[in-house]
Amino acid sequence: MTPGDKKRTATPSATEGRKAEHVDLVVRERVEHRAKRTGFDDLNFEHNALPELHFDDISLETTLLGFSLKAPLLISSMTGGYTGAYEINRALGRAAEKFGLAIGLGSGRQALESAEQHRTFSVVREVAPKAFIFANIGGVEAARLHATGKSGELRRLIDLLQANALAIHLNPVQELLQPEGSRDFRGVLAGIESCVKTLTVPIIVKEVGSGISQSVARRLLEVGVRAIDVAGAGGTSWAGVEILRNGIGSRHNLEPFWDWGIPTAEALQQVSELRPEFGFDLISSGGIRTGVDVAKSVALGATAAGVARPLIQAFVEHDEEALFALVETFLFQLRAAMFLTGSSDIPALTRQRLHPRANNTDLS
C-alpha cells in the first residue's frame, strides 16, 4: 500500500487526520529534497591547527529576539492539534528545556477553532517553563484573519502556549500541491503586517523548505517582521510529502516540484545581506543535519539554526533518549567546529569566513 492509499477519515477531523498523516510520512518515507542540497557541503571553514582553546571552555550561549539560549539551536515548528501530537510535543518540549533551546509548535489554526486538542499545544509550556516558545500559523490564515478584522484572535493561541513569539509560515508550494490546500495567497503580507501591529509578541516569518529570497525578506522586514527563518531547500521537501500523500491519485505530474526552492545556504547569504539595513534575527533551517551545518549557518549570519525532521524521527522511531542523544550530538559537533576554527564563543564564530570547497583543502 502506498501512503496515498491510506484512508484519510480514520481520525476525528480532516485536519487532524492530515497532521497525523504528515508526521507518519515524514518519519517513514524519504521525503527530503532529492537533487537539491542545502549548499553547506560546498562551503568550508578554514581549519585552525592552533586553536589555543580548551574545548570545555567554549561558550555556545546566544540570544534570539532578546531571549537567552544555551545554544544557537531551535526545534523547528512541527506539530500539535491531534492526539498523537501530545507525546511528541512533550518530548520536544523536554528537550528544549533540558538543553536551553528555542522551540516552535506546529500550526495552531485548529486550536483557534476547537479546544479539543489544546493540551497537545499547552504541554510544551508545562514541561518547558523557561524555554523560548513560538506559536505558529499559516500566512493564508493570517490573511483571512486580517480580512475579517480578527488578527487579535491570535492572542488566544499565544496565551494557550504562553508563547514568546509567533511564527507565520509561508508555504505556497505545499498549499498548491495539497489537494485541499489554498491557492489564494493574496493579502498574506497585509495579514502579516496586521499581526505585527496587533500583537505584542515579535513576529517571525518562516518558509517550510523552499526558502526566502532577499526580495521577499525585504518586503517582510519593511512591514516590521522581527525575525526571518529562511527554511530553505535541501532538507524536508513538502512537495515530496504531498506527492507521496497524493500517490497515484493526483491529476498532474507534480514531480518537477519535488526539488523546488532556494537552497538554505544561498537563501541565508541573500537574506543576511539585509542585516546592516534592518535590525532582525536570522534563522537558518531546511536540511540542517549536523552541528557543522549549525556552525556554518552562524558564520553566514544566522542567529540560530532550526532542525525539524531528524528530531521528530528520533522520537517517533525510537524514544526520548534517542531525541536527547541527537540534540547532544548536534551540540557536540557545533562545539567541535568552534574548537577547530578557534572560536571561543558565538560572536567569534560569527567572524569566521567560509570558503568555497574547491579553494581549500581542509577536512570540515
Assess 37 for contact with ligand FMN (CB under 6 A). Answer: no
- Looking at 18, 146, 206, 296, which residue binds ligand FMN (CB under 6 A)? 206
Rounded least distance, CB 195 to ligand FMN, Å: 14
Assess 26 for contact with ligand FMN (CB under 6 A). Answer: yes
- Looking at 43, 208, 326, 337, which residue binds ligand FMN (CB under 6 A)? 208
Assess 72 for contact with ligand FMN (CB under 6 A). Answer: no
280-293: b or e for each residue (b if 16 or more CB lie within 10 Å)?
Answer: bbbbbbbbbbbbbb
Assess 169 for contact with ligand FMN (CB under 6 A). Answer: yes
Contact 291, 336 (CB under 8 A): yes
User: Which one, 285 or 303, has the nearer CB to ligand FMN?
Assistant: 285
Binding part of the chain for ligand FMN, among 122-130, 217-225, 285-293, 344-352 by CB under 6 A, reads: 285-293
User: Can you tell me the distance from the alpha carbon of 102 to that of 136, in angstroms, rounded to the nearest whole number?
Assistant: 13
C-alpha cell recorded at residue 41? 557541503
User: Can you tell me the distance from the alpha carbon of 81 to that of 93, in angstroms, rounded to the nearest whole number?
Assistant: 15
Tell me how many residues contact ligand FMN (CB under 6 A).
Answer: 25
Site string for ligand FMN, 118-157 (x = CB under 6 A): ------------------x---------------------
Cell 492539534, residue?
Answer: 81
241-268: b or e for each residue (b if 16 or more CB lie within 10 Å)?
Answer: bbbbbbeeeeeeebeebbbbbbbbbbbb
Assess 263 for contact with ligand FMN (CB under 6 A). Answer: no
- Looking at 287, 338, 340, 354, which residue binds ligand FMN (CB under 6 A)? 287
Residue of this chain nearest to ligand FMN (CB atom): 235
Half-sphere exposure of 214 (CA within 13 A, CB side): 11
Assess 231 for contact with ligand FMN (CB under 6 A). Answer: yes
Binding part of the chain for ligand FMN, among 1-9, 115-123, 231-239, 349-357 by CB under 6 A, reads: 231-239
Interacting residue ranges for ligand FMN, rule: CB under 6 A = 22-23, 26, 76-79, 106-107, 136, 169, 206, 208-209, 231, 235-236, 285-288, 307-309, 312
